[in-house]
Amino acid sequence: MTARHLSSRISIALLLGAILVLPQVSRAGTKTSVRAASMGGAYTAVAEGVQATRWNPANLAFEGSSDFGIELFSARAGVANNGIDLDLYNRTAGAHLDDSDKRAILASIPSDGLNTSLEAGASILGVHFGRMALSFSGEGAAYSKLPHDVFQLVLMGNAASDSIDFSQAEGEAISYASVRLSAASSLGETAFGRLHVGMTLSYLEGLAYGRLEKVQGSLVTRPSGILGEASALLTTAQRGQGLGLDLGVATEWNSQWRAGMTLENAYGRIQFNSNLERRSFVATTDTLDVITVQETSSADSLYSTSDLVESIDPFHVDLPRILRFGLARTGERSVVALEYEQGFSRRAGASTTPFAAIGAEWRGLGWLPLRVGISGGGLRGSSASAGIGLRLASFRLDLAAATVGQLWPGNPRGIVVGIGTGLEF
């Protein structure tokens, strides 16, 4: 027995909840450095100037760094998922799906569900002077997870003896603007080389937040008919204020080696206080059978649905803590860097899956630096990146692109692009 109309109704609470969460990201992306994107994210021990405010503020004390610089504009954006690749998307998006298409989509989605992450962000008019830096940016992140059973239901309907569970759905999105002030100090020579410490203090202006707080649902086929219920609880808010603190330590030795460690969001909290809502979606049906479907003129009368919105009190959101380690060998014409990252919670913009990357930059042409990188783990899985720069006197221009889901840019499951300009003196 099948019931395609029931499939749509019983999953609407979950799909609508995820759709409402993801568009909350008007400005996203935790770190907007284009040079970092082209080097696969291997940047904690490499970042200098304004870019050090987010990657490692202790790097502002590195010897040989420029005394003054301006970040005119920097932006990057990306989207990724863990199942549907570019070829499958091009074949099925907007097309009539036959059974082979549906089976291909289901086969591509992991058994624990389809994860999707979004990034986009920009920084404008950042400036560094000596061992201090000031930056202005818009940033955030979003992710969603839909269980495999949801796609099974929507694409194939339900079959006899099916029992389908929706309770593993997740979703969160946050966007905010920030003003960041960084400072670094040198502790002098130690057994580990010249040791530097730094901190970034941030004022955070919350723009929007959304989170699927609770999802429940199941569909069961019995001889007497189909029983189903799905519910989702979505919390949303706009406007808020908060503070953030990042801590960093860096060392350099033998004029070529650098290492660093950063605790991002050692403290980070935004108190949201405007347009605070909690929305409940519920869809149910009781012993729906073929006869009932055939004798009912309106499909809407076969199901019971509700959408309840209530106001809630102000609440705070803690930004996820992320620990990063970096090691780099820097030369006159080249840089090779390694990165390891560990998040402490699965949140928008963070993952508990370890992330590792290796990146390189070659400056043999002087005015045209070339960059590459590969990475794995974290939010996006395997990724390959490349980029170029342009150096004309004090002016710089950087471009970057990365594929997500595989190390060869042929059929990726996502892409990241970026562009940035600035001045260095």
If one compares 408 and 139, the residue with the highest pLDDT of the two is 139
If one compares 66 and 245, the residue with the highest pLDDT of the two is 245
CA distance 73 to 59: 21
If one compares 408 and 311, the residue with the highest pLDDT of the two is 311
For range 257-278, the mean pLDDT: 96
Q: How confident is the model at residue 6 (pLDDT cuts 50, 70, 90)?
A: very low
CA distance 250 to 326: 9
Q: Is 257 left (phi over 0), alpha (psi -120 to 50) or beta?
A: beta
Range scoring the smallest mean pLDDT among 39-53, 116-130, 142-156, 246-260: 142-156
Give me the pLDDT at residue 140, please. Answer: 81
Tokens of 130: 């000596």
Over residues 195-210, the pLDDT tens digits come to: 999 999 999 999 999 9
For residue 93, tell me if it sits in a domain: yes
Give me the pLDDT at residue 342, please. Answer: 97
Q: What is the pTM of this model?
A: 0.85
Q: How confident is the model at residue 374 (pLDDT cuts 50, 70, 90)?
A: very high
For residue 366, tell me if it sits in a domain: no
Residue 247 has pLDDT above 90, yes or no: yes
Give me the pLDDT at residue 86, please. Answer: 85
For range 260-286, the mean pLDDT: 91
If one compares 278 and 162, the residue with the highest pLDDT of the two is 278
What integer best gives the mean pLDDT of the chain?
A: 84
DSSP 92: H
Q: Which residues pair with 376 in a beta bridge?
A: 356
Give me the pLDDT at residue 5, please. Answer: 47
Q: How confident is the model at residue 278 (pLDDT cuts 50, 70, 90)?
A: very high
- Can you say how many angstroms the Cα of residue 195 is from the centroid of all Cα atoms in its chain? 32
Q: Is the separation of the CB atoms in 169 and 18 below 8 Å?
A: yes
CA distance 266 to 264: 6
Q: How many CA atoms lie within 13 A of 357 on its CB side?
A: 35
Nearest to 131 by CA among 50, 54, 212: 50
Residue 62 has pLDDT above 80, yes or no: yes
Tokens of 135: 């930056």
Tokens of 114: 């389809």
Q: Which helix (H) or strand (E) is 308 found in, with range? A: strand 304-311
Q: Quote the longest CA-to-CA distance of the chain.
A: 85
DSSP 83: S
For range 381-392, the mean pLDDT: 94
Alpha-carbon torsion 204, 210, 216, 221, what sign? negative
Give me the pLDDT at residue 296, please. Answer: 53
Residue 28 has pLDDT above 50, yes or no: no
For residue 168, tell me if it sits in a domain: yes
For residue 214, tell me if it sits in a domain: yes
Q: Is the separation of the CB atoms in 147 and 10 below 8 Å?
A: no
Residue 25 has pLDDT above 80, yes or no: no
Q: How confident is the model at residue 162 (pLDDT cuts 50, 70, 90)?
A: low
Give me the pLDDT at residue 216, please. Answer: 78
Residue 1 has pLDDT above 70, yes or no: no
- Can you say how many angstroms the Cα of residue 200 is from the centroid of all Cα atoms in its chain? 21
Q: Which helix (H) or strand (E) is 89 found in, with range? A: helix 86-92
Residues contacting 98, CB < 8 A, separation 6+? none
Give me the pLDDT at residue 215, please. Answer: 78
Number of domains in the chain: 1
For range 68-84, the mean pLDDT: 91
If one compares 164 and 120, the residue with the highest pLDDT of the two is 120
For residue 281, tell me if it sits in a domain: yes
Q: How many CA atoms lie within 13 A of 30 on its CB side?
A: 23
For residue 33, tell me if it sits in a domain: yes
DSSP 409: T
For range 115-141, the mean pLDDT: 90
Tokens of 192: 């580990």
Range scoring the smallest mean pLDDT among 64-73, 170-179, 323-332, 362-371: 64-73
Above pLDDT 90, what percent of the chain? 51
* Distance set, CA 369 to CA 50, 250, 278, 378, 397 (Å): 19, 24, 50, 27, 10
Residue 292 has pLDDT above 60, yes or no: no
With 0-12 / 13-18 / 19 or more C-beta atoms within 10 angstroms meaning exposed / middle / buried, residue 158 is buried
In which domain, by residue range, is 69 found? Answer: 4-323+403-424
If one compares 89 and 383, the residue with the highest pLDDT of the two is 383
Range scoring the smallest mean pLDDT among 99-108, 126-135, 320-329: 99-108
For residue 71, tell me if it sits in a domain: yes
Range scoring the smallest mean pLDDT among 195-204, 289-298, 333-342: 289-298
With 0-12 / 13-18 / 19 or more C-beta atoms within 10 angstroms meaning exposed / middle / buried, residue 320 is buried
Give me the pLDDT at residue 96, please. Answer: 80
Q: How confident is the model at residue 303 (pLDDT cuts 50, 70, 90)?
A: low
